[in-house]
């Protein structure tokens, strides 16, 4: 059922405006997250995510990036933590099965780009700036980036977990994804 809902959410993507190159995310990419629990670092990955990307370095005005993440696919390799993550105190996947990023604009930044857009996580939408580097090689592309988030901005960690006492409020999200041009 979850997979059906996830596919439906992706199918609802409106393709970007004609003109900008269309890209399809290839399997094998990594979307990972990291945090600190009681002083110890941990990291995990989302095994299911997808997106719709319209991007042409020469037509940045028309760039549009949408990424959807299946929150139930998160795993950190620790059974106790992984049992807690989907619960209502954390990702609450029963109510918010997906996280979503919708870019509003993409600008050049340093050696790469920055996607400015809305990240919706656990039902809360906040604007974030997502820096990334991009290597385009013919019809293939690779994007890498890191963004630091404050989990309390999205209500991730409720009740006793709302403070940074046990789990730091700062979390990191890293991605290294490959895409293929489809148009």
For another protein, the closer of residues 37 and 43 by Cβ is 37
The structure tokens 């918010």 sit at: 96
Q: Residue 94, class by beta-carbon neighbours within 10 Å (0-12 exposed, 13-18 middle, 19+ buried)? A: exposed
Q: How far is the CB of 169 from another protein (least distance, A)?
A: 15
Q: How far is the CB of 42 from another protein (least distance, A)?
A: 10
For another protein, the closer of residues 137 and 160 by Cβ is 160
130 phi and psi, to 5 degrees? -110, 100
Q: Are 72 and 95 in contact (CB under 8 A)?
A: no
Question: In 3D, which of 98, 85, 87, 91 has the Cα closest to residue 37?
Answer: 85
Q: How far is the CB of 38 from another protein (least distance, A)?
A: 4
Q: How far is the CB of 78 from another protein (least distance, A)?
A: 8
Q: How many helices (H) and strands (E) does the chain have?
A: 2, 11
For another protein, the closer of residues 50 and 92 by Cβ is 92
For another protein, the closer of residues 170 and 176 by Cβ is 170
User: Could you tell me the CA-to-CA distances from 61 to 16, 107, 161, 181 in Å, in that order?
Assistant: 11, 8, 41, 18
Residues that bind another protein (CB under 8 A): 37-40, 79-80, 83-84, 87-89, 159-161, 166
For another protein, the closer of residues 68 and 93 by Cβ is 93
Q: How far is the CB of 48 from another protein (least distance, A)?
A: 22
């Amino acid at each position: 059922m979850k997979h059906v809902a996830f596919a439906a959410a992706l199918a609802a993507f409106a393709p970007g405006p004609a003109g900008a190159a269309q890209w399809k995310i290839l399997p094998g990419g990594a979307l990972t997250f990291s945090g600190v629990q009681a002083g110890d670092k941990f990291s995990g990955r989302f095994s299911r995510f997808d997106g719709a990307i319209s991007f042409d370095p020469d037509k940045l005005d028309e760039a549009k990036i949408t990424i959807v993440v299946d929150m139930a696919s998160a795993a950190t390799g620790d059974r106790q933590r992984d049992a807690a993550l989907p619960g209502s105190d954390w990702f609450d996947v029963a109510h918010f099965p997906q996280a979503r990023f919708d870019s509003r604009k993409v600008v050049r930044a340093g050696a790469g780009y920055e996607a400015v857009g809305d990240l919706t996580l656990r039902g809360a939408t906040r604007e974030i700036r997502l820096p990334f580097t991009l290597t385009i090689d013919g019809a293939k592309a690779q994007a890498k980036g890191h963004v630091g988030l404050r989990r309390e901005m999205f209500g991730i960690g409720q009740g006793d977990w709302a403070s940074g006492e046990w789990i730091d409020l700062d979390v990191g999200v890293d991605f290294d994804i490959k895409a293929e041009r489809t148009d």
